[in-house]
Amino acid sequence: MLWAAITLPTGPNSAPPPDAQLHGLSMWALQYTPRVGVVEEAVVLEVENSTRLFGGRRALRDRIVQESPELGVVQLAWAPTSLAALAFARARKENGVRGALTALLDPLPMDTLSAVRPHLTVLTQLGCRTLGDVRALPRGGISRRFDKQLLLAFDQAYGLRPETHVWVVLPETFKARLELMSRVDSAPALLFGARRLLMQLCGWLAARHAGTTAFVLRWMHDAMRSKDAGQGGELTIRTAAPMRDLEHLCRLLAENLAKVQLEAPAGDLELEALDVLPLEELSASLLPDTTRQGETMTLVLERIAARLGPEKVLRPVLAEDHRMEWMQQWQPAPVPAPKKRARRSRFPQPSFMLPAPLRLATRGERPMYQGALQLLAGPHRIEGGWWHRVKTGDVQDTCNVVRDYWVARSPHAGVLWIFQERLAQDASAWYLHGSFA
């Protein structure tokens, strides 16, 4: 069995950390194992079954050591039992698995085990200085003179009895709050505290095998604010696809915070996940995979849109519409595109569309465009749009079309896409609408 203990700094007079801070740390730890518990000022993790998933003990240790300091962690330790791991963490010793557990625990100070602390004065008067000294005392005398919790704690720490824990339950929704260490006057400075909340969010998402497409950061103004400042403000961030990449979410948040002006100093932050969707994991490859290296185009477009504004980065999205002008629409790139299937047509579709139909010259009833056109296929009738209205100035125009499309060939311009309007006043007029590659 392998346990990890992650300790947070204690408050004045050895008071344990706030419950909110321990809760946030446990949410982050759930990405490594579902067996996470809270013991006094520490979060303990049973990670024996998770080491292979993260590439071995060394890789798992390096990852936790690299990420945990941003959450306020002061010490990390490993041991075969959770109480032993906590004792090593309190003694500022990380490795409790290299060698026999008894030989490693015995030299530690007595106060590294919580059950010893109520009896510390008496045990000190008996000449005890380390856990090994207490363990060397007669068990019968310890059971009669002290409470049963002392022997139980020693047996559990040394692996002689099984441990019991109340596991942290993964909540269905994510909403975390953080009190800032000092009042913040500028919005970009909120990113320091928001990053800690985002780390908790990413850990929660990893435990749920999911990603978020929208989250909101709220800030609460200081109590000494002016009456016109209000209670606080909020900022909503959206992504094009389910995401739990901490660095990318922080970059998006930083770009948006740079545009925000605080009405008053902020003292508290709150982060809430709005939209959470299952995230499809990419399987590992035995061969070098260059396609997954670096930033994808979606992430690059999201960062550019956050900097320049969503209306500056657009992408084409297919719509379920027969009318050629509205079969494709342009939408902001970071917004998830609706999964719509384009309507299939037996009639050929043009490769390029003109911004507006071009009326063609005619010779008799035959259309002309860089020479006389030869009709190859048609007519293909498209009718609809009576429900679609577009406001032009103070007038609303109906986008209803009643057209017969033809595929035609020009001696010099190639294959073209032309049409006639059936119900127009000049029904014999021809229009060029597109061309084929």
pLDDT single digits (tens) 275-331: 999 887 665 555 554 444 555 667 777 777 777 777 777 777 776 666 667 676 777
What single DSSP character describes residue 373?
-
For residue 113, give the amino acid letter. L
Q: What is the pLDDT of residue 240?
A: 79
Instruction: Give tens-digit pLDDT for 170-201.
Output: 889 999 998 888 888 888 889 988 999 999 99
Q: What is the pLDDT of residue 78?
A: 92
Token pair belonging to 114: 């919580």
User: In the structure, what pLDDT confidence band is assigned to residue 378 with cuts at 50, 70 and 90?
Assistant: confident
Whether the pLDDT of residue 336 is over 60: the answer is: no
Q: What is the pLDDT of residue 146?
A: 87
Contact in structure between 19 and 102 (CB atoms under 8 Å):
no
Q: What is the pLDDT of residue 272?
A: 94
- Confidence (pTM): 0.65
Q: Which of 268, 190, 176, 181 is nearest to 225 (CA)?
A: 268
Contact in structure between 319 and 393 (CB atoms under 8 Å):
no
User: In the structure, what pLDDT confidence band is assigned to residue 20 with cuts at 50, 70 and 90?
Assistant: confident
Contact in structure between 431 and 416 (CB atoms under 8 Å):
no
**Boundaries of every domain in the chain:** 3-157, 175-278, 352-435
Q: What is the pLDDT of residue 183?
A: 86
User: In the structure, what pLDDT confidence band is assigned to residue 350 with cuts at 50, 70 and 90?
Assistant: confident
Average pLDDT of the residues of the chain: 84
**Cα separation, 301 vs 292, whole angstroms:** 17
For residue 115, give the amino acid letter. A
Whether the pLDDT of residue 271 is over 90: the answer is: yes
Average of pLDDT values for 268-273? 92
Domain 175-278 has CATH 3.30.230.70: no
C-alpha separations of 430 from 208, 360, 362, 375 in Å: 59, 6, 8, 12
Q: What is the pLDDT of residue 286?
A: 52
Average of pLDDT values for 197-222? 91
Average of pLDDT values for 338-346? 54
85-99, 244-258, 273-287, 402-416, range with the lowest pLDDT: 273-287
Strand ranges in 74-131 using DSSP code E only, listed in sequence order: 75-79
**203 or 17, which is more confident:** 203
